[in-house]
Amino acid sequence: MAALFGIWMFKVIFLGLIDPSQASVRPRVSFARGSSERVLGIYSSSTLKNTSTLLLSTDEDTLFVGARDALFSLDVSQSDSITLKDELKWTPSSDQTKTCRVASKLDCGNFISILQFFNSTHLYACGTNAYKPQAIIIPASSLNANIDKKDAKNCCPFSSTQRNTAIIVDGELYTATNVGFFGDKNVISRCHSRGTHNNLELETVPKLLQEPVFISSTHVASEGKILLFFTENGDLSGDYFGNSFTVSRVAQVCTDDNGGTLTLQRRWTSFAKAQLVCQQGEDLQFNKLQDIVKLSPSDSDSPDKTLFYGVFTSQRSVSSGLSAVCAFSLTDIKAAFSGNYKTFDLRGNHWSPQPNTDGKLGKCGLFNDTDSVLNRVKKSFLTENVVHPMDKTLLLSSAEEQYTRLAVHRAQAVDGQTYTILYLLTESGFLHKVVLLAEGPHIIEEIQIFKQPQIAKNILLSKSKSVLFIGSSEGVFRVPLSNCSAYPNCAECVLARDPFCAWDTETRACTAVSETKSTLRQDVERGNVTEQCIEFRNTAAVLFKTAHLNEIVVLPCQSKSKLAKMTWRFSNNSLVPQFPYLQWTDGSLVFPVSLETTNTYRCVSEELGFQQTIATFSVNLPVVPRSRMSPSHQQPEHIDFTTIELDESEPINEEKINDRSEEKQASTYHDAGKDTLCISQKSYYSEMVAVCIFFVIFCFCILAFFVVLWRNGKRCNKILPQEQPQKGTESDKICQTEL
């Protein structure tokens, strides 16, 4: 019991450390799979299984897809279709597959784990090949022509279950992966080096890599470096988490590195690593990196303004549903690598400070330096300073969703303001579109991508096509970055606060922001409908419902926005009380009909200070016909609803509603040219009375019959023995008959 209480308290404390305004962030609207308002494109085939890698051509008209036992090139130049251009079947040999299965491996196919452009015309692909990695170089224009096989030793992963990262710069492959039949060797290497460059690997020293999981890598041309992102086991023995606490890292290697002459021969002389910390203040951190992407600055800005957006989760089971997004600047990463370092003391089994007084540690071009410097570099590879997120705050945190992959994009709004938009894939199979505002994150929408929850291995953004490509076991999905037509009026368009969408007062439609026009209305920061939708007139259809006394009435009301507060009001705008009314979670109002509850009800949604009527109902009792009805019209057909269009800019007038209702229903029944109004259900009152009377009479007759039998039986039993009638006499026959 104490343990359970402790876990509960830990959850309370952990959740309490998250900014409440961030923890409560929810998607504004949600689109289910197959929704006509959010149409997704998909390419699938019987040979496209287990999509593992995606790569876009330079013109972004062709999408290359690495899958199991096959490599595809897809035509994505058209906005409404994805078609197959070419396919390369690439399967392991039967002998290799047999060897793999004998070793009890489950992924004995050829899973393409690396797919990069080798140069401007050719692709480099590497597959697991049933635990015997194989690499090929093929023309991008024809996947089946001139296949050149390459040695993949220490360059490609053996297993499809282990994450890896790779990037090609100037024809040289920089890769970080686990190799070996059992995946027990961790490598960060340079393969296929050109000219005077040597293929390089890491030196095997304690604490260099501790069970790493490689996440991503990127080339920073301005620094001449490759940055690698991964997680590994940390050394926090004094921490309450214990010895197996996961830490997130950013590491560097220099592209000009060629290894030392004597010390660190064919080994990296520029390798260094720093800790990435995704936390706010002194709060408990999100320590497990899931994905990270680079967002380059504009051409006019300094490369130091490059940002890295990462998704982090917590490794502990009690908080496995928590995730956060942090942004790191290249400036802060450079500062960490140029600062002081730590050296691991084998005798004391601890880290000791290593001042970087000469600035040699973490510097490129050390391969020509002295052995004493290289020996110090060999032992001092961990920075003393950690890399904190920008402004030391979380961009987004969620206590409900666990994010696994992300893409990031910048979009310019109508007013010229540039906004950062995140596309986050959840573990449950949804895509969240998030815009970062001054007041905090706003989830514009969520889209269900997968039928069944799964973790996609890749997500790729095409800026020119304004789409996302997502690879999965179901196929390759094409998701438009926005769908402005889903917002039917000015209010909904403005409340969406989507930088991609604005209301065009000329076409009277929510349209994509492609150019600056004076007719576009948008307010991303505040979503102020009153200022932007001056000509907007909120009209609603009034539904008339007739019901009998004590009948239970359900008035439906649903808002597309999950952020709107739904309330029910009477015609005088006063709030509907809690009794005898009940408001369901879906917004519906439920109550029994009485003389007091026959009224006009308005369902009102309020969002960002703007109120709009979603639905209006007028609930009435049956009325007496105005004119005499013929016998054939004694039981008129039941009319459940009558619809009347009213302008919501004017207050609801009960007399006006009743007058319009009578006008619309006056022609429903006719008798000899006279109009008759009846909006009543058929009454069964007279039938029920007749049945009840018949039942009472029937019961009375049965009771009387048994009373007569009882009285006669009692009279016969009172006859004395000497007065008993003889058998066969008239008296005996009477008693026998009565009994």
| CATH number where 560 lies | 2.60.40.10
pLDDT for 16 equals 40
Q: Any idea what the Cα angle at residue 29 is, between residues 18 and 396, rounded to 5°?
A: 25
Q: In this structure, is residue 476 part of a structural domain?
A: no
The enclosing domain of 490 has a CATH number of: 3.30.1680.10
Taking residues 192-214, report their average pLDDT. Answer: 92
CA-wise closest residue to 325 among 309, 307, 343: 309
Phi and psi angles of residue 659, each rounded to the nearest 5 degrees, phi first:
-65, -45
Residue 643 exposed, middle or buried by CB count within 10 Å (0-12, 13-18, 19+):
exposed
Domain assignment of residue 705, given as a range: 688-738
Taking residues 41-66, report their average pLDDT. Answer: 94
Taking residues 671-678, report their average pLDDT. Answer: 32
Q: In this structure, is residue 563 part of a structural domain?
A: yes
Examine the pLDDT at 336 and tell me if it is beyond 70: yes
pLDDT tier, 695 (very low <50, low <70, confident <90, very high otherwise): confident
> 577 and 553 share a domain?
yes
Examine the pLDDT at 227 and tell me if it is beyond 50: yes
Taking residues 478-486, report their average pLDDT. Answer: 94
Taking residues 560-586, report their average pLDDT. Answer: 92
Give the pair of three-digit tokens for residue 595: 């003389």
> 508 and 629 share a domain?
no
**Domains contained in the chain, number:** 3
pLDDT for 456 equals 86
The 10 Å Cβ neighbour count of residue 101 is 12
Distances (CA, A) of 527 to 362, 437, 524, 531: 47, 11, 6, 9
Which of the pair, 535 or 377, is modelled with greater confidence?
377
Q: In this structure, is residue 586 part of a structural domain?
A: yes
> 656 and 626 share a domain?
yes
Q: In this structure, is residue 557 part of a structural domain?
A: yes
Rg (CA), the chain: 38
Taking residues 89-102, report their average pLDDT. Answer: 93
Q: In this structure, is residue 88 part of a structural domain?
A: no
**Lowest-confidence segment of 98-102, 404-408, 580-584, 714-718 by average pLDDT:** 714-718
The secondary structure of 266-303 as a DSSP string is TB-SS-EEEEE-B-STTSPPB-EEEEEEEE---TTS-G
> 604 and 649 share a domain?
yes
CA-wise closest residue to 393 among 316, 283, 297, 287: 283
Examine the pLDDT at 422 and tell me if it is beyond 80: yes
The secondary structure of 364-422 as a DSSP string is S-GGGS-HHHHHHHHH--EESS-BPPGGG--SEEESS--EEEEEEEEEE-TTS-EEEEE
pLDDT for 8 equals 33
> 555 and 575 share a domain?
yes
Distance CA 680, CA 638 (A): 6
Q: In this structure, is residue 599 part of a structural domain?
A: yes
> 508 and 572 share a domain?
no
Residue 543: beta bridge partners?
A: 617, 643
Which residues make Cβ contacts (< 8 Å) with residue 88, sequence separation at least 6? 70, 71, 72, 138, 143, 144
> 501 and 602 share a domain?
no
pLDDT tier, 706 (very low <50, low <70, confident <90, very high otherwise): confident
Boundary-marking domain end, from 476, 500, 532: 532
> 695 and 668 share a domain?
no
Boundary-marking domain end, from 623, 651, 676: 676
> 599 and 715 share a domain?
no
pLDDT tier, 243 (very low <50, low <70, confident <90, very high otherwise): low
Q: In this structure, is residue 400 part of a structural domain?
A: no
**Lowest-confidence segment of 40-44, 425-429, 469-473, 709-713 by average pLDDT:** 709-713
> 693 and 664 share a domain?
no
Q: In this structure, is residue 549 part of a structural domain?
A: yes
Distance CA 513, CA 523 (A): 13
> 597 and 647 share a domain?
yes
Examine the pLDDT at 68 and tell me if it is beyond 90: yes
Say if CB 323 and CB 401 are below 8 A apart: yes
> 619 and 495 share a domain?
no
pTM score above 0.85: no
Distance CA 440, CA 324 (A): 13
